Amino acid sequence: MENKFPESKLSENEQTILGVLYSVELNPKDSETNEYFIGEKRIKLNVEGILSVSKHRIGEDIDLLSSILETLLTKNLINISNKIYSLTEVGSKIGKKIKSKWFSEFYDKLLLRCAKSQAYAKFCELVYGENLVQFNVIDVQQLNMMLEKLELNSNDEVLDLGCGLGKITEYLADKTGASITGIDFSQKSIQYAKMNTKGSEKLRFEVQDINELNYPSNTFDAIIALDVLYWVDDLEPVIKTLKDILKPNGRMGIFYVQFQNQENLTEPLESENTKLAKFLDQNNYTYEVEDISQKAVEIWERKIAVGKDLRAQFLSEGNQDIIDTRVAGGLDVIKKFETKQQKRYFFYVKNK
Ligand SMILES: C[S@@+](CC[C@H](N)C(=O)[O-])C[C@H]1O[C@@H](n2cnc3c(N)ncnc32)[C@H](O)[C@@H]1O
């Protein structure tokens, strides 16, 4: 029998630890040492390891952490073996929800600040060719390339997954006449999209989590995912759901990144070895794929150069952290492309 344990019955700290454990368990694991690889770090889920990844949320009191772990054990939300903790199935489900909540709140704050920033508007115009308050690595030329592939027309029903502030959704609807529904789990972004795009029957925005999409079968002629699907924890069921809600002969445009931890190991990054390709194959889709890594490097280089030029304006708005993280992130990403730890692809997918 399934053990139902709504997260509302858990204390804030208990929820936090489940969210932290879930986030750690998403990373690759060395089964011999029981260590998870998190970026450059290696973390074992013993009490000390859990403290190291949760102290920014619950503080450094190891006794407090031990008592939270004790309670979670009695509630069957975690297991322990040889002093190493792991989530039970129910614990993992709750941890997933907690992580999703943190992630959506992160975007709530960040995207709204971008939307209000004059400096960010200028940044978008210079980096992407037009200010659509993008938060991605897709310039207007690439958006138009996707439109050419998808051949959207005014009879099409389209779903834009993770639409953010909705200005790209509006751009695509204006260019094609298609009816587009933008969804995002960031409530504030959807609120912004509703208030800052032209009200029209052809443009709708809804708060939805990609992990729990709620549409009838055969609803959409096309689905687009602009820099979002690689953030989804469990892609397999999502690709299955997309198959169901996409009409026969429907198509998808997906901008996707494949990461891996080791340097100069190309095989896991090849398009046919990506998680996305694997699940598309399993679900009987056909697809064409284009390696757009070089273009991504160019866009990141542009972001870095423009970011440096506009830093004073960001600073005067109190938004320097937005541009500093973009620039630092850009340098890191470019290094990852150079050391073959990342590749970027555009997938044009057809439903059979
Ligand atoms: C990198 S931003 C891209 C935003 C927009 N598509 C663009 O290209 O500018 C990722 C977006 O996906 C949304 N997102 C991430 N995970 C999601 C999920 N599980 N369900 C719904 N939206 C999600 C975020 O809130 C954010 O708006």
**In this predicted structure, what is the pLDDT of residue 6?**
67
- Domain 7-101: which topology? Arc Repressor Mutant, subunit A (1.10.10)
**In this predicted structure, what is the pLDDT of residue 2?**
46
Q: Are strands 157-161 and 179-184 parallel, antiparallel or unpaired?
A: parallel
Secondary structure (DSSP) of 36-99: EEETTEEEE-SHHHHHHHHHHHH-S-HHHHHHHHHHHHHTTSEEEETTEEEE-HHHHHHHHHHH
Structure tokens at 193: 């999209």
Task: Enumerate the H helices of 153-260 as residue ranges.
Answer: 167-176, 187-196, 235-245
Structure tokens at 250: 């429907």
**In this predicted structure, what is the pLDDT of residue 345?**
97
CA distance 222 to 292: 21
Which residues 6+ apart lie within 8 Å of 32 measured at CB? none
Probe residue for ligand 1, chosen from 108, 228, 300, 322 as the CB with the greatest number of ligand atoms within 8 Å: 228
Cα(205) to ligand 1 centroid in Å equals 13
Q: Are strands 203-207 and 220-226 parallel, antiparallel or unpaired?
A: unpaired
**In this predicted structure, what is the pLDDT of residue 40?**
77
CA distance 99 to 21: 10
Residue 1 pLDDT exceeds 50: no
What average pLDDT does range 343-351 have in this prediction? 97
Residue 316 pLDDT exceeds 80: yes
Atom 2 in ligand 1: which residue has the minimum CA distance? 135
pLDDT tens digits along 249-292:
999 999 999 988 777 677 878 999 999 999 999 999 999 999 99
Report CA torsion sign: 147, 149, 150, 155. positive
CA distance 165 to 161: 12
CA distance 181 to 103: 22
Angle at 175 between CA 112 and CA 119, to 5 degrees: 30
Residue 165 pLDDT exceeds 80: yes
pLDDT band at 5 (very low <50, low <70, confident <90, very high): low
Residue 313 pLDDT exceeds 60: yes
pLDDT tens digits along 196-235:
998 888 999 999 999 999 999 999 999 999 999 988 988 9
CA distance 124 to 17: 37
What average pLDDT does range 80-101 have in this prediction? 95
Which residues 6+ apart lie within 8 Å of 170 measured at CB? 132, 197, 198, 203
Are the C-beta atoms of residues 253 and 225 closer than 8 Å to each other? yes
CATH class of 117-351: alpha beta
Cα(299) to ligand 1 centroid in Å equals 19
Are the C-beta atoms of residues 323 and 312 closer than 8 Å to each other? no
- Dihedral (C-alpha) 328, 332, 333, 334: value to the nearest 10 degrees? 100
Q: Which residues line ligand 1 (CB under 6 A)?
A: 104, 107, 111, 134-136, 162-164, 168, 184-186, 189, 209-211, 226-228, 231-232
If you count them, how many residues does the chain have?
Answer: 352
**In this predicted structure, what is the pLDDT of residue 263?**
73
Shortest-distance atom of ligand 1 to CA 189: 27
Domains of the chain, residue spans: 7-101, 117-351
